[in-house]
Structure 1
Amino acid sequence: MIKRFLTKDMLDFDAPDQVKEVIQPQGRPPETDPTLGIRPELSIEVNQKPGTPRHRLVTIGDSLSHGVQSGAIFNTDLSYPMMIAQEMGWKEHLRRPSQYGKFGGLPLNMEYVVRHLERQFGDQINWW
């Protein structure tokens, strides 16, 4: 590797002296240790029962995270956060909407509405 020296035109005059002392013209070598030398805490070490999650499973996302199906919050047990919770044994601890209301979900389950209309009026539409 070629050793380059820092020139005055490379420095910001307003930079603090602490920064000017450590700044280098080349990047540092890449880190090869994925743990960065930090040993992760195990649940037993922090006085928890093995297998008990320290934090709830929290997901932030869109309709895929929420379990939207047919335009409504419906079948939340098929959402990917629920699948993760089931596989990890946390199903009873995961809070999710499960009361779908009168119309099969919120705001409106289009599949539910169409099937209801089909039962009531038949599967053929007569426009005239």
Structure 2
Amino acid sequence: MDDRRTFLRLIGGGSTAVLAGCLGSDAGQSGDADATTADDDVSTTARTGGTTNGSVPARYETATGLSDRQRDPSSLTAKDTVAYQSTPKDGQGCSGCQHFIPAKGDDELGACVLVEGRIHPDGWCKLFSPTG
């Protein structure tokens, strides 16, 4: 009987150590997955030229574009809808568009009178309209 109790204690203690090792391993994997998600968010943000939720800093919310048209936060179009990309297309870039709101202060990204979120000056979308 004592041998059985000793055996169960040894196995029980070993199982706990194995489970603790598994839990530690899972926690590490979960942390790695979170890091990958964070990296994906950063890549998405860099690629889309701004935040992933479409918001802009307060100084851009009702700013005016290069055409002196004021931005209306309640009537913006989603980037996906206008095929926004953070690179120029056929020599056209947002910095040459009448809807573009140039970056303010130390910002690298601006905004748009018609499109939600932060906008890269080299970006492009279907609503491109050259300044003129």
TM-score calculated relative to the size of structure 2:
0.21
User: Relative CO higher for 1 or 2, CA cutoff 8 Å, sep ≥ 6?
Assistant: 2
TM-score calculated relative to the size of structure 1:
0.21
Q: Larger Cα Rg: Structure 1 or Structure 2? A: 1
**Larger helix percent:** 2
